[in-house]
Amino acid sequence: MSESVVDIQGVTRRFGPKTALDDVSLTVPRGVVFGLVGANGAGKTTLIKHVLGLLRAETGSVRVFGRDPVADPVGVLSRIGYLSEENDLPGWMRVDELIRYTRAFYPDWDDTYAEELRQTFALDPAARVKNLSKGQRARAGLLIALAYRPSLLLLDEPSSGLDPIVRRDILAAIIRTIADEGRTVLFSSHLLEEVERVADHVTMIDQGKIALSAPLDAIKESHRCLTLRFAESRPQPPVVPGVLVWEGAGQEWTAVCRDGPARLEEAANQWGAQIVAERVPSLDEIFVARVGIPASAVAEE
Amino acid sequence: MRSYAAALAWEFWRRHRWGLAILVIYLAALLVFAAVMGTTDPSPARMALLASVVGTAAIPLVAAYMLVLVVFSFGSQADLASRESIYPGRMLTLPVRTAALTFWPMFYGTVAAASLWLIVARFVFWPCGMELPLVWPALLAASFLAWTQVVMWMPYPLPLLRAFAAVVLLGVLLVTPQLAIQLAVPDGVIAAVLAPSLPLAYVAACVAVGRARRGDVPDWRWLLALPRRIAESRTRRKADFTSPARAQVWFEWRRHGRSLPFIVGILLPFALLLLFIADSDMPDVVLNTLAGVCFLPPFMAGFAATTVSKANPYVRDYYGVPPFTGTRPLTSAGLVAAKLEMAAWSTLAAWLLVLIATPLALTLSGQWPVITNAVQSWLAVESPLRVAVITVLIGLGLVAFTWKQLVQNLYVGLTGREWFVKLTVFVGLAILALVLPIGKWVYDHEQVRASFRDLLPWLAGIAVGLKASAVVWIVRGLRRRRLLRDRTLVTIGTCWLICFVCLLGLLLWLVPARLAPWYLLALGAALILPLARPAAAPLALAWNRHR
């Protein structure tokens, strides 16, 4: 893997009694689409704010392009394109003023690309930001985050503002283009279908801790979803090492397991159970299995 | 809590409990002071002194009343320039009748405002020998609050119309009783005139809240279409910004720069109106009016300054740096420099208005002879050079003072910590409440005044020592966090020293040695010139931006 763009080591962050990040270490390599997934309040935005230097690491270190974003905000921020979850573009600005103002900060601003994006997003240059719809504001935010072709694009919950068409077609296309050009995208989302569609690498955060971080293909390779039919009806599923979660009732139970299906297949043979279906689970199922109620909590001891 | 009235009362208390608690403590302190001091020795001389001390100690009551206004009109985090009602949208959807939505905030507010006066007048001023009327000032306080609520809750057809309506309506409400006092109208008549304004305000507020509830915001923006089109065509022709710093200055100007010129522009006609009322045999009124006009920009700059460091009210964290600003690839010092430059442009724009409007008003009112006579009288006792230099210095001093007023407390808001902002306001008011009565007491006693004069160099020396310590601490912080380069720090220090030497030279030339020795002037110059607080601004912003 090539050199890292973001390097986070042992970062812990507390807000009063709540631990938002708990000893988080993460490395984002250059040229990948890095998906950060987690439930609301899991710590995704807190992690992104550390990358931007908007939060200072209480413990541990954050390096972006090898620099400390707090000590050198200009050096780091001039290479980052950021779409905020808060959608806080100044309402009093017109779209053309927003473009004119933003381009002053970035020597690599590409006028042609900016105009192309403006037309794609159907943004009226004379419209005031406060009069734009939520989706249009998100498009305006995306425009100014993309138009200088940043080395690192940070998207904090882009789906929360964008309509399905932009989200599905345009955003995905843009993200892939950026990655193909060798630049890096780090985006957070709780819409796992979207992450599955575009991400190369997925990191799951749960209650401030990294639950899982690996390339998407490897994650999907290592998880299996198997449906077992037992000879008799069971009130609870059995405990099997490697099974993350059980779902079902009576004779038929479905398990999501990690590290391949071998152990579960072996256990099924022992109990005389029949495997009736086997497939690769979706990222959504893996996420729920990883950060939801653990299998041991519902399984019989 | 089963009723809307109880829930609303709880919300007011829960949200503003610290401010209201401080108000209660301050009132309690005043009451205890008046109860203890007011009855021990009722001799006329002592009562006069007590009245004077209590009178000045009660000055922060104005701030207390402002707090009551802000709390009960829901004005603490509102966009006053917008057309929409600032009545909280979430409350408009409650299953409560509009009459109740209007009544309870108005009831609580008017009762609080009237009680504030009644308690202070009856239990603080009266025991200290100040027999002030009770009823009509309480009614005035309540009316003023009720009409403020109307002005705040009403939707308007044009942006900024709320500010204009506030100045006119509330100005009338304030000026009318003063005129009545001047014309010796009996207290009962003033109260009889003020009393009906309360139910009228309630009706008007019901209309305002009802319209806000229906989303009925009249739109007359077509009136602004032509000027806007002209402005937009001018903007579109504008070239790109030459640097990020230029762009940021433009940003700050558009956000905050127009506040001071706007406030001064609204108040200036009212201030200059006295020139047209004063007769030719009332030179004092003309000169006092001009003095008032000269102090209008610095005085109003104190209010405008509160907006300069204000964060975006539309983001979740009202006091913090919005991500849009925080992620600009500009240093914290660069962001502060843009604010300082914007403040300079704002100051110049406000003074430009004064410099255009005042000669115009003097010409139209025919009051130029008063000014000519005053200058001639001055020339009779001073040399023309001295008169010219002093005039220029006063002018420059007022402009510099206006700028200083805009930026000196920038660091407070830039910290982004609500507790720090509120603590600073509280400490400022507490100091005011202590210093004013003590100052008044010193001024009234010849012997104490003489002792104070002897102590003044020491007090000034201590103040300079504190300022120097603060500067050292701030410079160390700036260097440690690498917010300013050493070269920039040396340049700032050199500029400050040059200004100090120039100011000291002028003071030594203007102030006779018998009035103040050179070292006192030097200490005064060191205290006047801003350094510590503006220098603390980048440190405060960095603390806020990188939390």
Indicate whether B341 pLDDT > 80.
yes
Exposed, middle or buried, A300 (CB in 10 Å: 0-12/13-18/19+)? exposed
Kindly report the nearest CA distance between residue B372 and chain A, in angstroms.
47
DSSP class of residue B94 equals S
Q: How many Cβ atoms from other residues are within 10 Å of residue B386's Cβ?
A: 14
State whether residue B221 sits within 8 Å of chain A by CB.
no
Percent residues over pLDDT 70 in chain B: 91
Q: Which of A129-138, A143-152, A230-239 has the lowest mean pLDDT?
A: A230-239
Indicate whether B247 pLDDT > 90.
yes
CB contact (8 A) between residue A104 and residue B316: no
User: Could you tell me the pLDDT band of residue A161, with boundaries at 50, 70 and 90?
Assistant: low
pLDDT (tens digit per residue) in A37-78: 988 888 999 999 999 999 998 899 999 999 999 999 999 999
| Helix or strand run (H / E) with residue A153 | strand A152-156
Indicate whether B530 pLDDT > 70.
yes
Higher pLDDT, B394 or A266: B394
DSSP-based three-state secondary structure for B38: helix
Contacts of A126 in chain B (CB under 8 A): 232
Residue B246: phi and psi, rounded to 5, are -65, -45
pLDDT (tens digit per residue) in B37-87: 766 566 666 666 666 666 666 677 887 888 888 889 888 766 777 788 989
CB contact (8 A) between residue A105 and residue B244: yes
User: Best-predicted range by mean pLDDT among A201-210, A237-246, B155-164?
Assistant: A201-210
* Mean pLDDT of the region B292-308: 85
pLDDT (tens digit per residue) in A80-122: 999 888 778 998 899 999 999 999 999 989 999 999 999 988 8
Kindly report the nearest CA distance between residue B93 and chain A, in angstroms.
21
**Residue of A82, A101, A126 lying closest to B327 (CB–CB):** A82
Q: Give the distance between the most distant pair of CA atoms in chain B.
A: 77
Residue B315: what pLDDT?
47
CB contact (8 A) between residue B241 and residue A70: no
- Find tokens 């009178």 and name the residue: B55
Contacts of A78 in chain B (CB under 8 A): 329
pLDDT (tens digit per residue) in B141-150: 999 999 999 9
CB contact (8 A) between residue A54 and residue B326: yes
| B120 Rama class: left (phi>0) / alpha (psi -120 to 50) / beta | alpha
DSSP-based three-state secondary structure for B547: coil
Domain boundaries along the sequence of chain B = 2-218, 242-407, 428-547
CB contact (8 A) between residue A88 and residue B314: yes
Residue A300: what pLDDT?
46
pLDDT (tens digit per residue) in B74-117: 887 667 777 889 898 888 888 899 999 999 999 999 999 999 99
Residue B113: what pLDDT?
93
Indicate whether A182 pLDDT > 80.
yes
State whether residue B234 sits within 8 Å of chain A by CB.
no
Q: CA dist B164 to A147, A244, B37, B201, Å?
A: 41, 65, 44, 18
Higher pLDDT, A268 or B197: B197
**Residue of A88, A94, A97 lying closest to B315 (CB–CB):** A88
Indicate whether A301 pLDDT > 50.
no
Contact B259, B305 (CB under 8 A): no
Q: Parallel, antiparallel, or unpaired: how do β-strands A33-38 and A59-64 relate?
A: unpaired
Indicate whether A205 pLDDT > 80.
yes
User: Could you tell me the pLDDT band of residue B308, with boundaries at 50, 70 and 90?
Assistant: low
The dihedral formed by the CA atoms of A172, A178, A181 and A184, expressed in degrees to the nearest 10: -120
Q: What HEC string does B145-182 produce?
A: HHHHHHHHHCCCCCCCHHHHHHHHHHHHHHHHHHHHHH
Higher pLDDT, B49 or B151: B151
User: Could you tell me the pLDDT band of residue B130, with boundaries at 50, 70 and 90?
Assistant: confident
Residue B408: phi and psi, rounded to 5, are -65, -30
